[in-house]
Structure 1
Amino acid sequence: MRIVIADDHPLYLEAVLGQLERAFPASQFHTARNLDDTLALLERETVDLVMLDYSMPGMNGVDGIPAAITAAKGTPVVVMSGVADDDAVRACIAAGAKGFLPKTLESRVFIHAISLVEAGGTYVPAEFVAQPSKAAVTCGPSLDPSQFTVREMEVLTLIVAGASNKEIARRLDLQEVTIKLHLTRIFQKLGVKNRSHAAVTAVRGGLVPEGTA
């Protein structure tokens, strides 16, 4: 995966780069500090994901998103922001962004969100799902825990916590093949194809708290 990270705060830029390098070690990364440099970079490079700071020079909030989307030529664009209010989230998604990532996201959820967008989904923070009066941004329906067995909920909670199949099997005293069977049923019920999408969908749908450990 080839990723552009654009942010004018050096410490945050370095932190995001470090997280992504650990999570996606085979990926290539490009960085920029403002919208103009980002657009110039997209003219030179073919990439798979563009990450934009909402407040960096040239963005003017949501106004810079369409230009980045055009320059990205179909590559998904996500917005990172230190200010996550529902109006900003709604405006960014309406402008074509495939995700809104508050800078307060935990590392695990941040990586799940990137994986979801890379797989073709759209990420919006879980707290904005629970605001039906401001439903211009739709993150999917709330999920009913009664659709899942107790064991499936245990497995799903551990997925959100970032546990591997082996770790889940050990903690639940089950065989890995049994965990895989549970995962298959969980994916079917959630309508997803992989662990990352399942974790994000579970959090966004209110099945599992975002801070689960």
Structure 2
Amino acid sequence: MIRVVVADDHPLLREGLRRILELEGGIKVVDEAGDGQGAINLARTVPFDILLMDLNMPGVNGLEACRIIRRDQPQIGILVLTVDDSDEKILEVLQLGVAGYLLKDVDSHTLVESIRKVYTGEPILSPTVTGKLLGRLSQTGHHPTTCGLTDRELQILTYVVGGSSNREIGGALFISEKTVKNHLSSIFRKLNVEDRTQAALKAVKIKLVKLE
């Protein structure tokens, strides 16, 4: 059972999200919060797996709450659900290491699937966010480097930037998912990052991967 907490300052939206999620087998909304401090308090006292987090909330905002929860309870997968699609906010949030960033115009099926993917450790970006993010990062002017990555690791990193899952990468390269995971562990270590999203960000920023 995937245990979810919804943090949003609009009660009607929280109720709607609860109804959508509880229609799905294997997902249970265990609690709600109306602001960032409430989300922090729940993270410290209530066991759960996924936090659906709005950013624009009164008091302690969602960004600061993400920072504190990532620091204190890194096992919780944070999936940001917001209307804010500004380049600066997207970069700021993803650099904290959240598991995903979705806009509130997302359909219910995509939301549910995103929760399931985050639960299994797969980071999520909406297509709109991905396009804005990569467009922004492609403008940065850093000198090319390989950071010690092998040709195979660079190949896999290219697929990661493109949003491919481990299974899709394995199928494309004719290697097992376990081999992909081993390569990813090496990539994370060499890039000094913690997850796929941070690896993709850094790969584009320092031009390890060329955007089409």
Q: Using structure 2 for the length normalisation, give the TM-score.
A: 0.61
**Counterpart for residue 32 of structure 2:** 31
Q: How big is the shift at 1:48?
A: 0.8
Unaligned runs of 5+ residues in structure 2 are: 139-157, 178-212
Q: Aligned Cα RMSD in Å?
A: 3.1
Deviations 1:63-101 (A, max 9, x none): 331112234342111211122223222211101211112
Deviations 1:127-166 (A, max 9, x none): 2333433138x9934489xxxxxxxxxxxxxxxxxxxxxx
Structure 1 segments of 4 or more deviating over 4 A?
A: 184-187, 190-193
1:98-177, aligned counterparts within 5 Å?
98-131=99-132, 132-135=134-137, 140-142=160-162
The letter for the 2-side match of 1:36 is Q
The letter for the 2-side match of 1:27 is K
Secondary structure of the structure 1 residue equivalent to 2:94? helix
CA 1:61/1:21 → structure 2, altered by over 3 Å: closer, same or farther?
A: closer
| 1:188 maps to 2:208 | no
The letter for the 1-side match of 2:101 is F
Kept in 2: contact 1:52–1:79 (CA 8 A): yes
What is the aligned length?
153
CA distance in 2, matches of 1:100, 1:52: 9
Secondary structure of the structure 1 residue equivalent to 2:160? coil
| 1:12 maps to 2:32 | no
Kept in 1: contact 2:53–2:62 (CA 8 A): no
CA distance in 2, matches of 1:192, 1:82: 38
CA distance in 1, matches of 2:37, 2:127: 31
Q: How big is the shift at 1:9?
A: 0.3
Kept in 1: contact 2:7–2:34 (CA 8 A): yes
13-22 or 25-34, which moves further after superposition?
25-34
**Counterpart for residue 165 of structure 1:** none
Kept in 2: contact 1:129–1:139 (CA 8 A): no
Deviations 1:150-208 (A, max 9, x none): xxxxxxxxxxxxxxxxxxxxxxxxxxxxxxxxxx9898349998xxxxxxxxxxxxxxx
**Counterpart for residue 76 of structure 1:** 77
CA distance in 1, matches of 2:117, 2:44: 25
**Counterpart for residue 204 of structure 1:** none
CA 1:66/1:121 → structure 2, altered by over 3 Å: closer, same or farther?
A: same
Kept in 2: contact 1:124–1:139 (CA 8 A): no
Kept in 1: contact 2:83–2:103 (CA 8 A): yes
The letter for the 1-side match of 2:24 is A
Secondary structure of the structure 2 residue equivalent to 1:47? coil
Give the % identical residues: 22
Secondary structure of the structure 2 residue equivalent to 1:130? helix
